Structure 1
Amino acid sequence: MVARVILEVALGRELDYLVPSELEGQIKPGTRVEVPLGRRKAFGLVTEVAKDSPSPNLKPILRVVATPSLVTPTVLRLARWIAEYYCCPPEVAFRSVLPGAVRHPDADWRRRLYVRLTPPQGPLPRLSPRQKEILHVVEERRALPLTELQQLTGANVATIRRLEDKGLVEIVPQIEERDPWAREQILPTTPLTLNEAQSQAVRAIVEALDRLTPRPAAVSDPSPDARPGAPASPGVFLLHGVTGSGKTEVYLQAIAAALERGRGAIVLVPEISLTPQTVERFKARFCTGPLRTLVAVLHSHLSAGERHDEWHKIRQGRARIVIGARSAIFAPVQNPGLIIVDEEHEPTYKQEEAPRYHARDLAVVRGRLEPAVVVLGSATPSLESYHNARQGKYTLLTLPERVDARKMPRVRVVDMRAALRSNRGVTMFSPQLREAILQRLERGEQVILFLNRRGYATALQCPKCGFVAQCPNCSVAFTYHRAGQRLLCHICGESRTVPAACPNPRCGDPAIRYAGMGTQRVEEALLRLFPTARVQRMDSDILQRKEEYRRILGEFRAGKIDILVGTQMIAKGLHFPNVTLVGIVHADLTLHQPDFRAAERTFQLLTQVAGRAGRGDIEGEVIVQSFTPYHPAIQYARRHDFEGFYEQEIEFRSQLRYPPFTRVALLTVRGRNEEKVRFVASHLRRELETHLAGWDDLIMSGPAPAPLERAQSYYRHHLMLRTRRMLQLARELARWLHQVRLPEDVRLTVDVDPVNLL
């Protein structure tokens, strides 16, 4: 018996090992093993078990690291597909499906000593008053940690051991799960009454669940949009619902239907910050009743121990629902029947390091491999997903109205050019926004202000000579952070003290000042304009501890905060009925970036932020401050007109053959020597043209300097490939990469389906 093993070292291939007879019952696909590699040992994952091998003189597996197998067969197939489609080494793809907290050889459950009550054998022995006091506490609790008993009674271990000697208690090690939600009090909820559109969506999903039959998914090309014109996967739905339309209730009732049919569910959310509110709603629905199950949480803010325990709850089948960020798509859910991707348009679903997978697309692929029903939900779907629905590849479900017939918020666009002229200088808040905030404060209503830029000011600039403080490692200006009086680069993290005068040796003007604004500056201005208002800022500078997000949102929900200022982490997924005003301080930040998705992202962000207003009984208002107020992305967002925006934007994409009409592979050449990077990039272009000669639908652009030409002290040049046949192109690129020889100080990366072109 032979096991094919992918090692955690960079070999680029699998190796065969003999399975010793004493391990035959333990070795399965997905089992972690330790094997010999030359003169050392290495850990790996069994990917396949076979009767024999073409390789001679096989070495035996040394030991099994963990049983049962930690990775399901379907996820193993998914990892193999990732390696092929995203053009990355197989060991990188396989390592990504198993968290380090689970993969580590010393990973284990936490065990603590517990004191348990034992029934006395015979008459109760004589006890001292101290012993009676300790025994009384144990009788009340039946079992409790030894350390807690010591704290409650002040007793030492020797005194408690004497009770054990008398047969009244026992002290035993016990597994204690590290549950990040253990201290939360969850109140059960019941299903809400659905409107007609919600009911139709749930019915369609349940009908698809009933059509599921386990089958070997022999899919050679299961990419979500691999073959234009290919027939639909019948179990992929795009749930397009306006903000506040009740998409979450559709998810909850669809999951209940999956649980009734003995199937599990995976729910992906784009931001870790969205996880607490989502988890609370799901735990509240499934913490009691006949469908009761544990809800596991997977994201990077968990401690290693918490991540280990959550993963094993899933693998053991105790948690049948998983909620998490993009890596949760690999969760070992038993018999999954439903995969939900909430806010499917969000770029955070794309992994920026190898393997550079997109979790939304992996959800579709895994759904076909399991098989499972896939629901992609959004108020502002990505153009790729909506195009797939219009082409019949996905089934479109729509929720056109808010629940309880609530009105969409009224949106006003303020021309900041006029505000600038009337104020004779730069202004942060237009008169319209200031007056609207004042009205809400007087009425006891709440306000959200959005600015997708943290820090105090975007640059430190000298008004005399024009000097701008630039990061020495990146092609960006330093951002000024008032806390600690620091200049900080948001790309590489470089930090400098604020100079007292212009650093230009030919200038030295002490009047150097800050330009632009960030959330810190907005917070300061609000406190100055509205001194009695309770203002709270929420951005990544504030949320250094994982508990801070839940604390701030809890206080906002309880009405202890009047104005919440934040970045995109407050732009989506949050439901606060008392928020009646949303102000977008600077709507143009993402609009003029050198990226074909700039208009789409602006439309999505404005629509999502606007959707936080008017979710209660009072109609909401949104004020959008813009220097380009008549741009189509802003005007369509003002009218809540996704269809209109889509029709215009898809025409632009069609003419220029951008996605969804092609797929993109972005090749990045980087190194510390600018001339060498430019030369290597040009050389690679010529080699690619030779290697791909005859490719009929390939568009090759570049090489050219990346929009962010220098990052973390590396110069970067881009080469973009566009084709309708990405899986085939990925295979060709993989073959070509094996032949490429690069200078030692130059690196080449391949990003298939990139979402960030900077």
Structure 2
Amino acid sequence: MIARVTLEIALRKEFDYLIPSELASQVDVGSRVQVPFGARKVLGCVTAMAEESAHANLRPILKVIGAQTLVTPKILKLARWIGEYYCCPPEIALKSVLPDAVRKEQAGWRERLFVRALPQTEPLPKLPKRQQEVYRILEERKELPLQELIDLAETTAATVRSLEDKGLVTITTEISERDPYAHEHILPSQPLPLNPQQARALERIIAAMDGQQAKPSTASAGDMTPVSSSNNFRLQSDDVPQTEPKNASSVFLLHGVTGSGKTEVYLQALAHALEQGKGAIVLVPEISLTPQTVERFKARFSSGPLQTLVAVLHSHLSAGERHDEWHKIRQGRARIVIGARSAIFAPVDPLGLIIVDEEHEHTYKQEESPRYHARDVAIVRGRMEGATVVLGSATPSMESFYNCSRGKYILLEMLERVDAKKMPLVRVVDMRQAMRKGKSIPIYSPQLKEAIQQRLERKEQTILFLNRRGYSTSLQCPLCGFVAQCPNCSVSLTYHRRAQILCCHVCGHTEPVPSFCPGPKCGNPDIRYAGLGTEKVEDTLLKLFPHARIKRMDSDTLKKKDDYRRILGDFRLGKIDILVGTQMIAKGLHFPNVTLVGIVYADMALHLADFRAGERTFQLLTQVAGRAGRGDIEGEVFVQSFTPFHPAIQYARRHDFAGFYEQELEFREQLKYPPVSRVAMLTLKGRNEEKVKLSADHLRRELEKALAGIKELIIAGPAPAPLARAESLYRYQIMLRARQMSEVSKRLAVMNQSLSLPEDVSLSIDIDPVNLA
């Protein structure tokens, strides 16, 4: 037999290798193998089997990595689709579905010495006091790692070895799995009673899981279009392999306001999947949300008839933890997986349910090749494997809601908070009025300061949100106009006061803070800091409320692995009065004693050069506001804005998603932006700006030839990117808008292979981009 192998080096093709007779029983589709390639030995994955090859003198596979296939046929098919749809080499797509820790040639298991008490038929011999203590602990615990036993008994390895010599214990080498939550004490929880809206949503999801729910009328077995698109028109069935099962899944959009109890619906739907003997994947948009989510899910499934291991997959795990968690899933021991976007590739089989929480979040999009969107991949994987998919959000993406309005997905709504709790009262503060009363722009309006003081007096908690870290956004000279710029990027440097550095938040460049203006022929010692970040908000709070317990949470303060969990734990226990943070505190968190949320600068993302700026602002304001009033006391939210009458702010004030969606869709239809069209962004990068610009003009001409004949195609550009220079590279962009992406994607892939560009100019293709910078 012959194995077709995709190597881990970017060659965009499969290579044929002979399967030696001694390896025949170990090699299968999905096997990881080591093969000769020229003078080197390289790793690859078997992607197909054949009985003959067009090539003579085939070389044999050297060895098989791992005892079982690591890439299942189902995941392999998904990887092929990702490569085709997102215009990336198949080997890159294959690498993305396996964590680095699993791809390594070595097994990666940790072995430790374990001590076990042996059953005794005769009375114990007289033992020294220390040996007695060791044996007593072992009788109680049955088995312990040697080092843990030594620590517990406050003894040495020699004491334990002497017990082994007497035939009382056995010491063996065993695999010790690394569990990131091993030291967490989680109390079991029981299913909660559902209100009528929750019950209706769960009933529809369970009916689909049982195969009783017909698919929405516009979706056919061959239509595998991802959600990030208009589906008002039919895409070609060649978007995915043609072997989709007949029992293709239903896709639900669970639109539930903040505090409506979406998580309880997820938990009870997961319980149904386990009852069916199937597994499930739960995606969360950020690693920061994982600890609280994991705690709730482990509590529900840690005991009882549906007890199962809950595996966690995200980039903050150590390589060893990731290796062990992944293998728990592959071996079928963990049937529920929680994680960030790459968890969508977890080898759960059979798969019954995929949940994508906060489905609108742009962090589900991978910014490096393969530039997949985890929400979209979830839809495709669900349909390939006949699993039900639930997308959940209080502020759904325009694309997903549009798909519901076209009958592509099924809309489930929960528009009331559980236990009849009221939505928070949102007050929009016009900061233009506050500015007129003083010479400079104030950080806090008088209304917000008074509200914070009231919460401190009543022993209630406050969250203050500003989506910008650092102290000040720029260093400026009022005499000559000098602004400290990053030498590598077209952005100003941010001042970090605690570290006393100027820092670029794009490339990471840092430099010391000057004591006088470095501008030519200036030297003014009176340089000033403009703008504000979370560090400045924290410092001014400490001066305004010296007795308050204040904590800041952003990527500058979270240095250690457990910092996030520790700070949120202190906040939950009431050890913190005011929590200041960026978007990592904006969503998914449940703290009943938070009765006030202040949004310091609501306009921050509103005026960016991005057609989604209004949508993102609406989503962020609604999500942050939703942290207030989740307990028995009604919440209050202050939104400070210099454009208080902008539709995104006004609709967020009223918690009116439907109103925002309608007016935003009208704007998108006029300009042919998603969700009524599809977008591909082509970005050229290079160190010589003129060369990049000439290459972009050449690319435009090639695109016009390659995409000729595609209906309703709009080619915009080339033009400098909104972030014109990043990491010393100049950037030019061409945006494609089309009704249909499958044909565009195919032709782009073909054109990319034959495109001739200068050596120092690179091209990246992003299908369905979410970030246009």
How high is the TM-score relative to the length of structure 1? 0.97
Q: Map Cα deviations across residues 573-594 of structure 1 (whole Å, 9 max, x no partner).
A: 0011111110000000000000
In the alignment, the residues of structure 2 paired with residue 596 and residue 184 of structure 1 have an alpha-carbon distance, to the nearest angstrom, of: 44
Check if 1:498 corresponds to 2:501. no
In the alignment, what sits opposite 1:469? 484
Check if 1:258 corresponds to 2:273. yes
In the alignment, the residues of structure 2 paired with residue 695 and residue 38 of structure 1 have an alpha-carbon distance, to the nearest angstrom, of: 42
In the alignment, what sits opposite 1:19? 19
The question of whether the paired residues in 1 share the 8 Å contact of 2:29 and 2:49 is answered with: yes
In the alignment, the residues of structure 2 paired with residue 646 and residue 75 of structure 1 have an alpha-carbon distance, to the nearest angstrom, of: 35
Alignment of 1:381-392 (within 5 A): 381-392=396-407
Distance 1:60 1:206, change over 3 A: same
Check if 1:722 corresponds to 2:747. no
Provide the secondary structure at the position in 1 that maps to 2:353.
Answer: strand
In the alignment, what sits opposite 1:567? 582
In the alignment, what sits opposite 2:175? 175
Q: Read off the aligned partner of 2:604 and give its amino acid letter.
A: L
Superposed displacement of residue 121, structure 1: 6.4
The question of whether the paired residues in 1 share the 8 Å contact of 2:362 and 2:770 is answered with: yes
The question of whether the paired residues in 2 share the 8 Å contact of 1:35 and 1:60 is answered with: yes
Q: Read off the aligned partner of 1:223 and give its amino acid letter.
A: P
The question of whether the paired residues in 2 share the 8 Å contact of 1:296 and 1:314 is answered with: yes
In the alignment, the residues of structure 1 paired with residue 440 and residue 88 of structure 2 have an alpha-carbon distance, to the nearest angstrom, of: 52
Percent of residue pairs identical: 67
How high is the TM-score relative to the length of structure 2? 0.95
Provide the secondary structure at the position in 2 that maps to 1:546.
Answer: coil
In the alignment, what sits opposite 2:608? 593
In the alignment, what sits opposite 1:89? 89
In the alignment, what sits opposite 1:149? 149
In the alignment, the residues of structure 2 paired with residue 239 and residue 300 of structure 1 have an alpha-carbon distance, to the nearest angstrom, of: 27
In the alignment, what sits opposite 1:105? 105
Provide the secondary structure at the position in 2 that maps to 1:266.
Answer: strand
In the alignment, the residues of structure 1 paired with residue 763 and residue 731 of structure 2 have an alpha-carbon distance, to the nearest angstrom, of: 10
In the alignment, the residues of structure 2 paired with residue 426 and residue 120 of structure 1 have an alpha-carbon distance, to the nearest angstrom, of: 80
In the alignment, the residues of structure 2 paired with residue 337 and residue 211 of structure 1 have an alpha-carbon distance, to the nearest angstrom, of: 11
Which of 223, 226, 240 is residue 226 of structure 2 equivalent to? 223
In the alignment, what sits opposite 1:577? 592
In the alignment, what sits opposite 2:76? 76
Q: Read off the aligned partner of 1:538 and give its amino acid letter.
A: M
Check if 1:211 corresponds to 2:208. no
In the alignment, the residues of structure 2 paired with residue 193 and residue 168 of structure 1 have an alpha-carbon distance, to the nearest angstrom, of: 52
Q: In terms of mean alpha carbon deviation, does 143-152 or 623-632 score higher?
A: 143-152
In the alignment, what sits opposite 1:336? 351
Cα RMSD after superposing both structures: 1.7
The question of whether the paired residues in 1 share the 8 Å contact of 2:399 and 2:674 is answered with: yes
Q: Read off the aligned partner of 1:303 and give its amino acid letter.
A: S
In the alignment, what sits opposite 2:620? 605
Provide the secondary structure at the position in 1 that maps to 2:562.
Answer: helix
Superposed displacement of residue 686, structure 1: 1.0
Superposed displacement of residue 534, structure 1: 0.6
In the alignment, the residues of structure 1 paired with residue 658 and residue 221 of structure 2 have an alpha-carbon distance, to the nearest angstrom, of: 36
Number of aligned positions between the proteins: 755
In the alignment, the residues of structure 2 paired with residue 120 and residue 577 of structure 1 have an alpha-carbon distance, to the nearest angstrom, of: 54
The question of whether the paired residues in 1 share the 8 Å contact of 2:253 and 2:411 is answered with: yes
Distance 1:544 1:137, change over 3 A: same
Distance 1:142 1:605, change over 3 A: same
In the alignment, the residues of structure 2 paired with residue 673 and residue 212 of structure 1 have an alpha-carbon distance, to the nearest angstrom, of: 60
Check if 1:747 corresponds to 2:762. yes
In the alignment, the residues of structure 2 paired with residue 387 and residue 233 of structure 1 have an alpha-carbon distance, to the nearest angstrom, of: 21
Which of 397, 402, 418 is residue 403 of structure 1 equivalent to? 418
The question of whether the paired residues in 2 share the 8 Å contact of 1:234 and 1:395 is answered with: no
Q: Read off the aligned partner of 1:730 and give its amino acid letter.
A: S
Provide the secondary structure at the position in 2 that maps to 1:532.
Answer: coil
The question of whether the paired residues in 1 share the 8 Å contact of 2:233 and 2:739 is answered with: no
In the alignment, what sits opposite 1:139? 139
Superposed displacement of residue 139, structure 1: 2.6
Distance 1:185 1:156, change over 3 A: closer
Distance 1:396 1:164, change over 3 A: same
Alignment of 1:49-60 (within 5 A): 49-60=49-60
Check if 1:660 corresponds to 2:660. no
Q: In terms of mean alpha carbon deviation, does 150-159 or 311-320 score higher?
A: 150-159
Q: Read off the aligned partner of 1:93 and give its amino acid letter.
A: A
Which of 634, 652, 656 is residue 637 of structure 1 equivalent to? 652
Q: Map Cα deviations across residues 252-307 of structure 1 (whole Å, 9 max, x no partner).
A: 11111111111111000001000000000000111111111010000000000000
Alignment of 1:263-662 (within 5 A): 263-662=278-677
Provide the secondary structure at the position in 2 that maps to 1:650.
Answer: helix
Provide the secondary structure at the position in 2 that maps to 1:700.
Answer: strand
Check if 1:236 corresponds to 2:239. no
In the alignment, the residues of structure 2 paired with residue 371 and residue 179 of structure 1 have an alpha-carbon distance, to the nearest angstrom, of: 31
The question of whether the paired residues in 2 share the 8 Å contact of 1:221 and 1:727 is answered with: no
Q: Map Cα deviations across residues 379-421 of structure 1 (whole Å, 9 max, x no partner).
A: 0000000000000000000001111111111111011001000
Superposed displacement of residue 153, structure 1: 4.1
The question of whether the paired residues in 2 share the 8 Å contact of 1:125 and 1:166 is answered with: no
Superposed displacement of residue 632, structure 1: 0.5
Q: In terms of mean alpha carbon deviation, does 143-152 or 72-81 score higher?
A: 143-152
Q: Map Cα deviations across residues 316-370 of structure 1 (whole Å, 9 max, x no partner).
A: 1111000000000000012011000000000000000000000000000000001
Superposed displacement of residue 425, structure 1: 1.9
Distance 1:131 1:643, change over 3 A: closer
In the alignment, the residues of structure 2 paired with residue 644 and residue 685 of structure 1 have an alpha-carbon distance, to the nearest angstrom, of: 39
Q: Read off the aligned partner of 1:135 and give its amino acid letter.
A: Y
In the alignment, the residues of structure 1 paired with residue 321 and residue 557 of structure 2 have an alpha-carbon distance, to the nearest angstrom, of: 23
Superposed displacement of residue 512, structure 1: 0.2
In the alignment, what sits opposite 2:48? 48
In the alignment, the residues of structure 1 paired with residue 684 and residue 669 of structure 2 have an alpha-carbon distance, to the nearest angstrom, of: 28
The question of whether the paired residues in 2 share the 8 Å contact of 1:299 and 1:324 is answered with: yes
Distance 1:674 1:230, change over 3 A: closer
Q: Map Cα deviations across residues 23-46 of structure 1 (whole Å, 9 max, x no partner).
A: 222222221111111121111111
Provide the secondary structure at the position in 2 that maps to 1:732.
Answer: helix
In the alignment, the residues of structure 2 paired with residue 672 and residue 510 of structure 1 have an alpha-carbon distance, to the nearest angstrom, of: 35
The question of whether the paired residues in 2 share the 8 Å contact of 1:222 and 1:368 is answered with: no
Q: Read off the aligned partner of 2:742 and give its amino acid letter.
A: L
Q: Read off the aligned partner of 1:169 and give its amino acid letter.
A: V
In the alignment, the residues of structure 1 paired with residue 618 and residue 150 of structure 2 have an alpha-carbon distance, to the nearest angstrom, of: 59
In the alignment, the residues of structure 2 paired with residue 578 and residue 418 of structure 1 have an alpha-carbon distance, to the nearest angstrom, of: 31
Superposed displacement of residue 137, structure 1: 3.4
Provide the secondary structure at the position in 2 that maps to 1:211.
Answer: coil
Distance 1:121 1:165, change over 3 A: farther
The question of whether the paired residues in 2 share the 8 Å contact of 1:212 and 1:372 is answered with: no
In the alignment, what sits opposite 2:238? none
Check if 1:684 corresponds to 2:687. no
Which of 694, 709, 720 is residue 709 of structure 2 equivalent to? 694
In the alignment, the residues of structure 2 paired with residue 259 and residue 68 of structure 1 have an alpha-carbon distance, to the nearest angstrom, of: 24
Provide the secondary structure at the position in 1 that maps to 2:269.
Answer: helix
In the alignment, the residues of structure 2 paired with residue 124 and residue 208 of structure 1 have an alpha-carbon distance, to the nearest angstrom, of: 61
Q: Read off the aligned partner of 2:232 and give its amino acid letter.
A: P
In the alignment, what sits opposite 2:217? none
Provide the secondary structure at the position in 2 that maps to 1:139.
Answer: helix
Superposed displacement of residue 107, structure 1: 3.6
- 5+ residue gaps, structure 2, are 214-219, 236-246
